[in-house]
Amino acid sequence: MNFELTEERQMLQDTLRRFLRTCYTTEFRNGVIASDQGYSPKIWTDLAELGVIGALFNEDQGGFGGTGFDIATVFEELGRAGVVEPFLETGLLAGRLLNQQDMIDQIIAGQLQLAFAHAEPNSRYDLNDVSTLATMLANKIVLNGRKAVVANAEAADYLIISARESGDDISFFLVPRDTKGMKLQGYPMTDGGRAAEVILDDVTIDVTSRIGIPGQALNQIETTIAAATVALCAEALGLMETAIQLTIDYLGTRKQFGKPIGSFQALQHRMADMLIELEQVRSIVILAAGHLETAPNIRDRYVSAAKNLIGRVGRLVAEESIQMHGGIAMTEEYELAHIAKRIIMIDHKLGDTDYHLERFIALSA
Amino acid sequence: MDLNYTPEEDAFRAEVKAFLAEKLTPDLANKVAQGRELTKQDHDHWHATLNARGWLAGNWPAEYGGAAWDAVQRHIFEEECAMANAPRIVPFGLAMLGPVLQKFGNDAQKKHWLPRILNGDDWWCQGYSEPGAGSDLASLKTRAVRDGDHYIVNGQKTWTTLGQHANMIFCLVRTNPDVKAQEGISFLLIDMNTAGVEVRPIVLLDGSAEVNEVWLTNVRVPVENLVGDENKGWTYAKYLLTHERTNIAGVGFSTAGLEAVKRIARTEMAGGRPLIENPFFAARLAQVEIDLMAMAATNLRVISQAASGQAPGVESSMLKVKGTLIRQEINDLARRAAGPYALPFASEAMEETNDAIGPDYAATVTTRYLNNRKLSIYGGSNEVQRQIIAKTALGAMR
Ligand SMILES: Cc1cc2nc3c(=O)[nH]c(=O)nc-3n(C[C@H](O)[C@H](O)[C@H](O)COP(=O)(O)OP(=O)(O)OC[C@H]3O[C@@H](n4cnc5c(N)ncnc54)[C@H](O)[C@@H]3O)c2cc1C
C-alpha cells in the first residue's frame, strides 16, 4: 500500500495551490461572482495552461491523467481556493461525453466552453428521468423539452443535451448554443457561477449531432456522473480544509473576555470533532477515487458512500465553522461565507445525502 | 395537570385568528411565508394595523397604551401571528426599549418616547455590539464624555439590525473607563440624524442587507437622553436582554416552517413518489416534529410559570438553544426538500421579473437557511447560553 501522490500529481498539486493562493483571493472571487459572466476567462486560460484541464483526460485523448486520482488532485485544490469557474461542466461532464478529438483538444487548451443539459424540472437527482423528446423529421432531429439548472449554459459554445428517442432510450446531442428554438433563462447560483433553464422548442439539428450510439447514452452518463461526483467530493474536501483552517486561525486571534476564543474548551472539542471528521472525508475521497475505474456496481457503491459522508460532514463543517466565528462569518466579504455556501450547495448537486444513502443501501444488498 | 387552555384563552385565540383573517392581506402573508425581505412600509403598515386594534404592545401595561396581556395570551398571539405568516413585530422599540423606559426612564422620557414608539414616529435600533465586543459585551469601548449639557460620543457599533430604517438608536456607551467594565457603562438614546452619525450597510452571506455598522464621530447627545443613572447602564441592558428573550423558543415560527416543509415535500417528487413518502426524508421530518412537540410543551410550562409570577431563569437559556436548533433544522429540511432548485440565487432584483425559476417554494429556501445561521449567534450565542445552563447546575467551578 502507498497513499502518497505520484510525483507528477504532487507537482500539479503544488503548482495549483501556489497559483491559486496568490491569484484567487476573496476580493478577486467576489468580483468574479458579481460579474455578468460569472467566471473569469483569464483564470480559465491560466489554469488551462497550468494543466488543470489536461489532467482530466488520458493520454489517448491528448491529456496526461484522467483517472480518479487525477480528478481528485485537481478538484481538491479548486475546492481549497473556492474556485467558481466551470471545470466540472466543461472539463469533466461534457468533456467525458464527447468523442470528437478536435473538440477535446480545444477543451484542453481552454478554448471551448460546454454545458451538460441533462436534469429536468421534475427529475430531481434521478439520472434516468428524462422526458425531453428527440423526434426524427425528414432526416433531421427535433428536440422538445426543458432542462433544469444547467450550469455554464450561457457561456457554453455547445450544449450536450440528453433526450429520449423512439424506443424510449436516451441519446445525447451536441447542439450549438445559438441554435434556433433554444431559449436560455439565466441566473446566478448561490455558490457562484451561473446556470440557466434551457427551453427547447422545436430545436432542429442534424443527425450527425448525435454523440455515440442511439439510445445507449445512459451507461455513458452514469460513468461520467461517477467521475463528476468524485470531483465534487474532492472539491468538498478542499473546501472543508479551508473552512477549518480559517476557523483555526480565527480561534487563535479573536479575543473575548480577555483571551483568545480558542482557549474555551467548548470550542476546542468541537474543533477536534471537525478535524476527526475531516480525516474521514479525506479517506472516503481516496476510496472513491481509487475505485472509479472498477466495475460500475463496485464503483458506484464507493461513490455513493463518499457523497453521503461528504453531505453529512460538509454540513457539520460549514455550520460549525460559521458558529465558532460568530457574526463575522455571516458577512459576504469574509472568505468563509463563500466557502460554506459552496460546501452546502454541493449537497444539491448530483444527488444529496439521502439519495446516496438510499443508493448505497441498494448497491450493498 | 390540565393540558387544555381555559375557555377564556380559547376565546382569545379565536379573536386573534379572526383579526388576522380580516386584516392580514394575502400579499403580505405570502411575502413573509416566502421569507422575502420586508420593506419599511410593510413593517410600518403592520404596526399601524395592530396599533389601531390596541395590540401592538402586548407586553406593555395599559397605562402606556399596551394590551397588558399575561404570558399565556402573549404566547397565543405570537403563535397565531407566526402561523398566519404575519410580519414579526420589530422588537427594538416595542420589546426592548419600551420596557426599559417604563422601568428606568423618567416621566418626561416616558411621556415623550413611548407614544412615539406606538405611533411609529420613531424607528429604533439596538446599538450594543461593537467589533471588539460581542459575547463579551461589557468590554464595549464607545466613549461618551460629558460636555456641559451634552455627551460627546465617539466609537463604532456594529451588527445594527435594520439600522438603515432607523432614526433613533439606543446605545450602551462607556462613561467611566477607570472602573470595572460593567460599572462604567451608560444607556443613551441617540438621534441618528445628529451630525457625526454614519450608517454603513453590511451585506450578509445570503445577499441581504439587514445589518449595518454605525459610526459615531463627535456626536453631541443632550443629557436628557441618558436613561436612568450614569454608569448604571449595564443593569438596564441586562433587564432589556431578559425581555429580548421572550418568545425566544419561536414555537410559532417552527410550526409554520414545518408546515411549509411538508407542503414542499408533498409536491416534490423523488424516485417516482412524493418526497414526503420517502422513508429517509420522512424520518428526518418526524424527528424534528417530535422535538418541536416536546419543546412546545416545555415552552408552555415556562410560560404558565411566568403567568403565575415566577421569573423564568435558566429555562429561557434552554429554550433559546433548543428553539434555535429546531428552527435551523427545519430550514435545513426545506433546502434539502427543494433539491437542485435550491441552487439558483434568488436575489431581490430577480423577484421583480416574472420568470420564475423552478417552483415558487424553492426560491428562498437557501437564503433562509443561510440567514438563519444567525439564530444561534445573536441574542446571546448558544455557547454563552450553554455556559449559563452549566453554571446554574454546577456553580462557578474554578
Ligand atoms: C444577523 C445579526 C444581527 C444582529 N443584530 C444585532 C443588533 O441589532 N444589535 C446589536 O447590538 N447586536 C446585534 N448582533 C450581534 C450579536 O449579538 C453578536 O454577534 C453576538 O453577541 C456574538 O458576538 P460576536 O459575533 O462578536 O462573536 P464572538 O463573541 O466573537 O464569539 C465567537 C464565537 O465564540 C463563542 N464564545 C464566545 N465566548 C465564549 C465562551 N466564554 N465560551 C464558549 N464560547 C464562547 C461564541 O459563541 C461564538 O461561537 C447581531 C448579529 C447578527 C449575526
- As a whole number of angstroms, the distance between CA B157 and CA B176 comes to 18
Q: Taking CA A131 as the corner, what is the angle to CA A126 and CA A134, rounded to the nearest 5 degrees? A: 130
Q: Each residue of B230-272: pLDDT tens digit?
A: 999 999 998 887 765 667 889 999 999 999 999 999 999 998 9
Cβ contact B136–A256 (<8 Å): yes
Q: What pLDDT band is residue A182 in, cutting at 50, 70 and 90? A: very high
Q: Closest partner residue to A185 among B355, B367, B370, by Cβ? A: B355
At residue B392, the 3 state secondary structure works out as helix
Q: What pLDDT band is residue A329 in, cutting at 50, 70 and 90? A: very high
Compute the average pLDDT of residues A210-217. 87
Q: Each residue of A216-255: pLDDT tens digit?
A: 888 999 999 999 999 999 999 999 999 999 999 999 999 9
Q: Domains of chain B: which residue ranges?
A: 7-104, 124-231, 249-397
pLDDT at position B347 is 67
The amino acid present at B243, given as its one-letter code, is H
**Chain A residues whose beta carbon lies within 8 Å of the beta carbon of residue B208:** none
Catalytic residue numbers of B?
244
A positions 186-245 inside 8 Å of B (CB):
187-191, 195, 197
- As a whole number of angstroms, the distance between CA B110 and CA B125 comes to 18
pLDDT at position B71 is 85
Atom of ligand 1 nearest to the CA of B125: 8
Q: Closest partner residue to B370 among A149, A195, A341, by Cβ? A: A341
- By the 8 A CB rule, do A146 and A121 touch? yes
Compute the average pLDDT of residues B215-219. 98
* Best to test chain A binding among B126, B360, B377 (most A CBs inside 10 Å): B377
Mutate to test the pocket of ligand 1, among A254, A261, A331, A332 (most ligand atoms within 8 A of CB): A261
Q: Each residue of B313-357: pLDDT tens digit?
A: 889 899 999 999 999 999 999 999 999 999 999 765 445 455 668
Query: What's the whole-number average pLDDT of chain A?
Result: 96
At residue B129, the 3 state secondary structure works out as coil
Q: Each residue of B159-176: pLDDT tens digit?
A: 999 999 999 999 999 999
Cβ contact A323–B355 (<8 Å): no
Question: Chain B: residue nearest A331 by CA?
Answer: B204
- By the 8 A CB rule, do A303 and A230 touch? yes
The amino acid present at A296, given as its one-letter code, is P
In sequence order, what E strands does chain B have? 124-127, 143-147, 150-157, 168-174, 185-191, 197-202, 211-222, 226-227, 269-270, 273-274
Cβ contact B202–A331 (<8 Å): yes
**Chain A residues whose beta carbon lies within 8 Å of the beta carbon of residue B361:** none
**Closest Cα in chain B, distance from residue A322 (Å):** 8
Domains B124-231 and B249-397 share a fold: no
CATH (residue range B7-104):
1.10.540.10
A positions 239-268 inside 8 Å of B (CB):
255-258, 264, 266-267
Judge whether residue B300 has pLDDT over 70. Answer: yes
- As a whole number of angstroms, the distance between CA A164 and CA A172 comes to 8
- As a whole number of angstroms, the distance between CA B124 and CA A128 comes to 55
pLDDT at position B349 is 42
Compute the average pLDDT of residues A258-273. 98
Q: What pLDDT band is residue A119 in, cutting at 50, 70 and 90? A: very high
CATH (residue range B249-397):
1.20.140.10
pLDDT at position B246 is 62
Compute the average pLDDT of residues A177-206. 96
Query: What's the whole-number average pLDDT of chain B?
Result: 93
Greatest extent of chain B over all pairs of C-alpha atoms, in Å: 76
Least confident stretch, B42-46, B201-205, B306-310, B375-379: B306-310
Pairing of strands A259-260, A158-164: unpaired
pLDDT at position B352 is 47
Percent of chain B with pLDDT over 90: 83
HSE at residue B388, side-chain half, CA atoms within 13 A, is 16
**Chain A residues whose beta carbon lies within 8 Å of the beta carbon of residue B373:** 319, 322-323, 329-330
Taking one residue from A and the other from B, the number of pairs with CB-CB distance under 8 angstroms is 132
pLDDT at position B283 is 97
* Best to test chain B binding among A131, A254, A354 (most B CBs inside 10 Å): A354
To 10 degrees, what angle do helices A296-325 and A265-290 make? 160
DSSP-assigned letter for residue B244: H
Q: What pLDDT band is residue B396 in, cutting at 50, 70 and 90? A: confident
Q: Within a 10 A sphere around the Cβ of A312, how many other Cβ atoms?
A: 15
pLDDT at position B164 is 97
CATH (residue range B124-231):
2.40.110.10
